[in-house]
């Protein structure tokens, strides 16, 4: 089977709410239809058995106040729950939460777990993720056996000083290094904060080939000190993180399997949030010299993470 870890749904009503509270306008991608029966047809055409659906990447609530943030994630979760309900054999929901109210977000995780959601979507922000007040999110996720899907910063990504003076107001920078640098920073801060000492069962899937983080493993030689012994950051990374295959080509997937091991890769497409067709993402898996092994490994990893 192929289980797609990386797909999005930007509901029009949620996007309109964002604008009504002062956020920027967000347009769903053309293929992101509210008709999930249509999406099932696309999955069938591509040969994908199941898909995890997260809110749209641009719906980051972390730059709003706590009240608005929780209204936004609650609305987003409810819409996705409603749209996947007739197709529970094909779709799994990923819970949208906000660092702005970690206690309420922990309760939101529990609420949506009762609706069959099996993962938690977090935006990469190392400062927020490692604050003590954010820990209820990770505690509830581990308690319920729900992995974290770590996305980029979305609309809440902080723009570096002076970037507006660059070509196209720096949009090319923000869509490349501006998208991946916060992911790498967040991953390393999570490790350095001792988060996995406190939540040893927590697993994290990093979107889009890991945002370059797998290539940094040779740099992860710093030692993390614990009461039971020392561990290099690279070992903690391999024990707790996986990457998906969205937005990378077949050769990069081969490299990711080498860098992460077959136990560290899951299939992803970025459907509803990226560029290209679902069948192209599948073709990159089938282009592996041992495609059957690659498919089986991503399926096994997904089933273990999602308790399927």
Report pLDDT for 159.
Answer: 75
Which helix (DSSP H) or strand (DSSP E) does residue 218 occupy? none
Report pLDDT for 155.
Answer: 54
Report pLDDT for 151.
Answer: 94
Q: Report the half-sphere exposure of 204 (CA within 13 A, side-chain side).
A: 28
Q: For 5-49, how does the pLDDT look when each residue is reduced to its tens digit (9 = 90+)?
A: 999 999 999 999 999 999 888 888 888 999 999 999 999 999 999
Q: Which of 133, 52, 130 is nearest to 93 (CA)?
A: 52
Q: For 198-239, how does the pLDDT look when each residue is reduced to its tens digit (9 = 90+)?
A: 999 999 999 999 989 999 999 999 999 888 789 999 999 999
> For each of the chain's 308 residues, which pLDDT tens digit applies?
899 999 999 999 999 999 999 988 888 888 899 999 999 999 999 999 999 999 998 899 998 999 999 999 999 999 999 999 999 999 999 999 999 999 999 999 999 999 999 999 999 999 999 999 999 999 999 999 999 999 987 655 667 788 889 898 888 888 777 778 899 999 999 999 999 999 999 999 999 999 899 999 999 999 998 887 899 999 999 999 999 999 999 999 999 999 999 999 999 999 998 767 899 999 999 999 999 999 999 999 999 999 99
Homologous superfamily of 3-306: Metal-dependent hydrolases (3.20.20.140)
The Cβ of residue 100 has, within 10 Å, a number of other Cβ atoms equal to: 22
Report pLDDT for 154.
Answer: 62
Using DSSP's 3-state secondary structure scheme, residue 258 falls into helix
Q: For 18-30, how does the pLDDT look when each residue is reduced to its tens digit (9 = 90+)?
A: 999 998 888 888 8
Report pLDDT for 117.
Answer: 98
Helix crossing, 291-306 with 250-260: angle to 10°? 60
Sequence-distant (6+) residues with CB within 8 A of 225 are none
CA distance 268 to 254: 14
Sequence-distant (6+) residues with CB within 8 A of 16 are none
Annotated domain spans of the chain:
3-306
Ramachandran angles phi, psi of 246, nearest 5° = -70, 145
User: Helices (H) and strands (E) in the chain — how many of each?
Assistant: 13, 10
Report pLDDT for 219.
Answer: 94
């Amino acid at each position: 089977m192929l289980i797609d870890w990386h797909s999005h749904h930007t509901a029009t009503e949620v996007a309109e709410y964002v604008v009504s509270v002062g956020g920027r306008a967000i347009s769903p991608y053309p293929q992101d239809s509210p008709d999930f029966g249509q999406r099932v047809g696309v999955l069938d055409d591509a040969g994908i058995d199941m898909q995890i659906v997260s809110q749209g990447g641009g719906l980051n609530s972390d730059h709003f106040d706590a009240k608005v943030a929780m209204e936004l994630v609650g609305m987003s979760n409810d819409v996705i729950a409603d749209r996947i309900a007739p197709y529970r054999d094909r779709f799994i929901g990923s819970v949208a939460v906000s660092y702005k109210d970690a206690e309420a977000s922990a309760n939101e995780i529990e609420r949506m777990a009762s609706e069959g959601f099996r993962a938690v979507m977090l935006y990469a922000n190392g400062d927020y993720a490692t604050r003590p007040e954010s820990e209820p999110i990770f505690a509830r996720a581990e308690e319920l056996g729900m992995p974290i899907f770590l996305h980029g910063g979305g609309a809440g990504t902080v723009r570096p000083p002076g970037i507006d003076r660059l070509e196209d107001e720096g949009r090319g920078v923000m869509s490349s290094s501006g998208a991946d640098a916060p992911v790498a920073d967040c991953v390393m801060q999570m490790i350095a904060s001792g988060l996995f000492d406190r939540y040893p069962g927590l697993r994290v899937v990093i979107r889009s080939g890991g945002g370059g983080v797998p290539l940094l493993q040779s740099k992860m030689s710093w030692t993390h000190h614990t009461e039971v012994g020392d561990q290099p950051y690279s070992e903690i990374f391999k024990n707790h993180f996986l990457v998906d295959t969205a937005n990378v080509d077949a050769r990069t997937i081969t490299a990711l399997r080498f860098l992460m091991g077959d136990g560290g890769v899951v299939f992803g497409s970025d459907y509803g949030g990226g560029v290209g067709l679902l069948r192209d993402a599948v073709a990159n898996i089938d282009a592996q010299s041992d495609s059957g092994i690659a498919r089986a490994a991503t399926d096994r990893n997904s089933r273990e993470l999602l308790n399927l």
